[in-house]
Structure 1
Amino acid sequence: MSALPHKGSYDALGDQDVDEKNVFSISTASLPDTSSTSTIQISSPKEEDLKTNDLEAQTPTSASTSSFPSVPQPSRMNIFFAVASQILFAILVTVLNKQALNVIRAPLLMLSLQMAFTAVMVKAYWWVSSGSSQTLPLSSVKQLKKFIFVKILGIVSKTYCLSFVPVSFYQISRGLLLPFTILLSFLLLHQKTHAFPLIGCFLVMLGFVFGVQFEQHVPVIGIVLGIWSSFTTAIESVAVKHYVHEFPTLDLIYIFATYMSGFCLFLSISSLELYSVVRSVNGAQIAKFSMILLASSCSNFYLNIATFTQIKVTSPVSYMISVATRGVLQTLFAVAFLGETLYVNRIYGVVLILGGTTLYTLAKEHERRGTK
């Protein structure tokens, strides 16, 4: 007697006929002539075989599930580490970038040097690592052109916004991220949202309007760039979610960083930004800018890895809440360590944006569980 094949073993059987319902099969071709006086003996299954079959029956080894290998779920410690790392490095990158831009306002040159550092770091890791290597060549840009385009657009928009607004107002200026995400999901993905989650979206919009309307210390261009960067970040988040599950993380970071470094350097030269920097800055500014840029580049390298990892191991609910939490901590950090002033309108704006984002994500999670 042969036991039932285990999970994933059907593909190895080739064209053999397998009786999936019964363990025993008696072929009529092997039956002797009934007129004969000989007897037919059918041996009964042994006790050990019966126990084996009982264990197999309790295990989900059907052919319908054999083609879908089980993916190990991340532990709570891994999820916590991914979220905490993403929040920490995002705050560090924002604060350090703002300090660098306060020394020399050259967003394109700063991004070009940062991304070149990231590409070199990934290449160095592949060189010293025996368990990881590059799988996608730089020629994969045609396959990843949409991903690269929206990432460049999103990061450049955020950096220009940061160059015109203080860190304590940065979260408010980009407060329309959630409404834009909902709108794009409806227009592009045809995903509808019920009334209760939209209350949270309304609170987010109210926080943005309240924070912007009574703001007297930020130029209009900073607010406009905040709205634009919210829109581009919404598109960027959709693209990253799509590509991060199809391609290796380090390959995506390396290809994106390489092309963005060259693109931003080209824009810096063609827009005369680099020429203006060379003519106007002195040695002390260059030295200070270089030190801050080195620290921000290291933080940006780890931020890329932490962001891709968080998107892989967390749900959209956790990601949205972590983004809102990061904005609040970022604002408090700017007040405590950068000496920025937290005006009343900024306090109300941040509170409403955080509360609305949390309410929306929790309401969506309740809907998701209710539909299961």
Structure 2
Amino acid sequence: MFLFHGVGLRRGQVEVAAVVVFYMVAALVMVFVNKAVLISSPEIPLLFLFAQLVIAVILLHVSALLWSDKVKLPESLVDLEKIKKLAPVVIVNAVGLIFNTLCLRGVEAAFFQIARGLVLPMTIAVQALHSDEAPASQVLWASGIVTAGFILGIVPPSMSTPFSSAEATILPASAIPSSLSLFYGLLSALFIAIHVVLIKSSLPHANNSTLELAYWSNAGSALILAPFVFLTGEHIALNDLVHGTLNGESHWNWSVFLSGTVITGLFGFLLCVAGLLSVKVTSPVTHMFSSAAKSVLQTLFGVWLFNDVMTVYGNRAVSILTITSGTLYYTWIKASGAVKIEKVAEPRLAEARSKWDLEAGSESSEEEDERVQHRKESQ
């Protein structure tokens, strides 16, 4: 039991809060550094993503060397049976990352989460199909509120009556997302929803280790992405950028690309671990609603760092308010135990958790059983 301003908190609650905050910080850094690089080098998005994945794999190997007693990587990379079982989650991860990057390239950073607004209902739908259990009505209401907020952000200001105004309808061309970018966002949302549910069912095939699953996801996604870098001609585009810069014919900001690649590679590694831990410790729906809260912060930082457009009286401001309201409502549902959130098959945390995963000390069997029972009731 922990005390925070006089309020008693279970260890499980502290773990969930710590993992969610860790995930949100890593995700925000990734989005904004990614956006900065894609602004400076829009011609090579897949090459940029490939470099991130390679760096993440290298960092996992370095971690295994430095903390060999805690970080366990796959003993064999040619285990065909394991590759076959993990192929779905790896393929979905790779495709989702591609559409995610293409969507971010075409929209403002503040608009990024709005463009992927259907991720919440899709996650609930995929989870319901996977578990054969219908979501609770309160969860659907909370999801509906959050989804309405995302939809408000997508609808053109001139159509979002009564919130539209002359000030809201005057937007620069760069602030208006293209239909293709929104389509990429839709596909990204779909694959994110599928990936979130697949993570828990894939953990047993990775020895119940989030880091081992992270390794397979990053290495496998890099292998899948490599041929597309050549098929799309991005290696030629990179060559043209380098030669143009050396000859003084272009003004490619290569320092932003290189530094951004290193930073996003590092935080991509952290984000992969944070995302896996977030889904493992919490439920998939809780994970997605923490993403919704992150989108609010992302919008505010986008306006501050990139001068993204957010009209005070337009639908984007109303979108943020609606998203926040839906998130707070869902948080109240979880905290009060008003409903039993639908359950997705997951390994028992006491058996599944590796030494690396949020282990702060030993627990008695009574404390562990109580915490597992509390988690089952909350789900």
- Please report the TM-score for the alignment, with normalisation by the length of structure 1: 0.74
Report the CA distance between 1:334 and its aligned residue: 1.1
Partner of 2:309: 341
Aligned counterpart, 1:142: 84
Q: Pick one of 185, 203, 208 that aligns with 1:226.
A: 185
Give the C-alpha shift of residue 300 in structure 1. Answer: 1.0
Once the two structures are superposed, the pairs formed by residues 110-125 of structure 1 within 5 Å of their partners are: 110-125=48-63
Distance 1:323 1:278, change over 3 A: same
Query: Would you say the 8 A contact 2:46–2:225 is kept in 1?
Result: yes
The aligned runs of 1:1-372 (5 Å cut-off) are 74-105=11-42, 106-131=44-69, 132-139=71-78, 140-214=82-156, 217-244=176-203, 246-247=205-206, 248-280=209-241, 282=245, 284-316=252-284, 318-343=286-311, 344-360=314-330, 362-363=332-333, 365-368=337-340
Q: What letter is aligned with 2:93?
A: K
How many Å separate the matches in 1 of 2:202 and 2:328?
A: 26
Q: Which amino acid aligns with 2:203?
A: V
Number of residue pairs matched? 300
Distance 1:286 1:78, change over 3 A: same
Q: Which amino acid aligns with 2:223?
A: G
Separation in 1, partners of 2:221, 2:276: 17
| Helix, strand or coil at the partner of 1:244 | helix
* C-alpha deviation, 1:243, in angstroms: 2.0
Kept in 2, the 8 Å contact 1:180–1:234? The answer is yes
Q: Any conservation in 1 of the 2:106–2:181 contact (CA below 8 Å)?
A: yes
The 2-side partners of 1:357 and 1:98 are apart by 25
- Identity, % of aligned positions: 25
Q: Spell out, residue by residue over 1:307-359, the C-alpha distance to the aligned partner (whole angstroms, 9 max, x if none).
A: 22222223446423321221111111111222222122211123223323443
Conserved? CA contact 1:208–1:349, under 8 Å: yes
Q: Cα gap change, 1:175/1:96 in structure 2, threshold over 3 Å: closer, same or farther?
A: same
Instruction: Measure how far apart 1:360 and its partner are.
Output: 4.5
Determine the C-alpha separation between the residues in 2 that align with 1:193 and 1:152. 28
Unaligned runs of 5+ in 1: 1-72
Question: Could you tell me how far apart the structure 2 residues matched to 1:250 and 1:194 are?
Answer: 32
| Residue 369 (structure 1) shift | 7.9
Q: Unpaired segments of 5 or more residues in structure 2?
A: 1-9, 158-170, 247-251, 343-375
Closer, same or farther in 2 for the Cα pair 1:206/1:83, shift >3 Å? closer
Equivalent residue letter for 2:299: T
* Alpha-carbon shift at residue 250 of structure 1 (Å): 1.9
Q: Match of 1:48? A: none
Higher-Rg structure is 1
Question: Alignment RMSD, CA only?
Answer: 2.5
Amino acid at match of 1:141: I
Deviates more, 1:281-290 or 1:98-107: 281-290
Distance 1:89-1:124 versus aligned 2 partners, 3 A rule: same
CA drift of 1:160 comes to: 1.1
- Which AA in structure 2 matches 1:366? A
Aligned 8 A contact 1:317 1:361 in 2? no
Instruction: Describe the shift of the 1:195–1:257 C-alpha distance in structure 2 as closer, same or farther (beyond 3 A).
Output: closer
Residues 136/352 of structure 1: CA separation in 2 closer, same or farther (3 Å cut): farther
TM-score by length of 2: 0.72
**1 CA distance for matches of 2:113 and 2:288?**
13
1:144 is paired with a residue of what secondary structure?
A: helix
Distance in 1 (alpha carbons) for counterparts of 2:68 and 2:149: 50
- The match for 2:358 is none
Alpha-carbon offset, residue 245 of structure 1: 5.3
C-alpha change, 1:307 and 1:293, in structure 2 (3 Å) is same
